[in-house]
Amino acid sequence: MRRFGERSWVWGVTCFVVVGCAGGGAPRKARRGADRGAKRTETAMKTAAAVAVEKPVAPVVEEITSVEPDVQAVETVDEGDALPPRVDFVKPLRDDPVGRAPGVYFFEDFESIRNLKDRFQDTSEGEGRFVVSGEDRMSGSRSLGQTYRPRDSMKGDPGGAGWVSRFVGDSPIGASKIEDKRQQRRIWARWYHKFAEDFNAEREDGIHYPPKHARLGCKAAGWKKVYSLLHWIGGKDGHIVIERHTKAPGTHREWIPKCDTSFTFETPLNRGRWIHMEMALILGDAGRTDHVMAWADGRLICDIPNDDLVGGWKDLGITYMMWDCYWNGGSPVPGNSRYYDDLALSNRQAVGPVRTSGKPTLVLCEGPRGARAVEVEVGFVTQKPLKPLKVYDKVPGSYKPIELSGDVVWKGVVDGTAKQVVVDAATGAFTGSLAGRDALEANTMYMVRLRRQNGRGAWTPWTDWHAAFATDWAPGTARDEKAPPRGMLNGDVTR
């Protein structure tokens, strides 16, 4: 590849493996989380050094290419820096266009809701469970918050926590609140999620994140479970696991082999920030024709086109989506918090990450005192189709490292104390394929990477690309023509 200056960078092959660290963040807990994060980051770095097989490289080249590790790379940070620089969230447009996207029939940002039961037919709420919270948010001023009570103070089930369920289509449960009762054979469920920065999943027997996160499926009359697509968190690295359970007639097994993805919460980059999550279930007409997909932070992390969840059974369609926080074994400490926001359901196409203007605002996570500067790059990223690594019963159980390519389209440097960055020509410069432009392209997905300069003038390495966001559709685009953002891999699903 030909060198040509500073317009594009290689996203070097990284071969470090993370084996220990924490989850997300709220401002009031930043210092406590930083202390805990520093200790965990140091442990992870020492362990990673022992298993490193190749050093990261980052020469300047014409095109950006990278292979992501199976587990996201350990960041090398300044002495005293608990966490790498990262984007907390990208500000959505004030009048969020996601709720008007094709196929979106449910959208909830918790700004005007007064009672969870007004929007969800089944809920678990109150102290130690779900509440509408003003403590943190992805958009507006409120979100859905869960603060766990410590297990030693719980009476009965120590893992009890919040959930909210939205019943849809031809569901016999909650039918009186379902406007469109047509059978749903395909659903994309999208949400944003954040573990508080000081979230402590460390118990006496190791790291155990709350495994429950979200689920999509079918329940018949009497709350009888027919099948479930489970978006869970597993392993001591807190990675996303896609599991499926079915009792639908005609399917060949009850528990389908799980799919372990490469996205993990137990890595410094994914603590204390809002992350786009999405999963899809598209039912086929026969055995092994159901399509299951999942995304995290804009990347497709699971793609199973030949699943056998329903075996062609059509008595009921997909009847519910549930967001839940049950923690098997309970929380080891008081105050562990997590948040959900900007929930959406579509029956037509992928929803994708937050929609912004062509000059978006990046809200940064709070950094250490004494930082001189933060350098920011915005990249147009494309992803190659996933390649199975392990296959069980003809379905993927894991995938080879994700392959990305693209180019840097904007770069800028801000003061080390800056709380946000506006991607425009005044703050930085458009470069690469957007050189000379004054805004990002419409309906396109971008990602961000950062590095920080400490008080001694030394720079941290670049973070991995994260904080995926999508620009709004071009003005005048007809609703029916509003496709998922360019650059988002959709598993070859036609609309």
pLDDT, position 192: 98
Nearest of 162, 163, 166 to residue 120 by alpha carbon: 166
pLDDT, position 22: 32
CA distance 32 to 84: 16
In angstroms and rounded to an integer, the radius of gyration of the C-alpha atoms of the chain is 22
pLDDT averages per 10-residue partition of the chain, 495 residues? 31 31 37 46 39 32 52 41 87 94 97 94 95 96 96 80 97 95 98 96 92 97 98 96 97 97 95 97 97 98 98 98 94 95 97 98 94 97 96 98 96 97 98 97 98 95 97 96 96 57
pLDDT, position 153: 82
Burial class (CB in 10 A: 0-12, 13-18, 19+), 37: buried
What's the predicted TM-score (pTM) here?
Answer: 0.86
- Per-residue pLDDT tens digits for 372-410: 999 999 999 999 999 999 999 999 999 999 999 999 999
Q: Domains of the chain by range and CATH?
A: 97-353 (2.60.120.200)
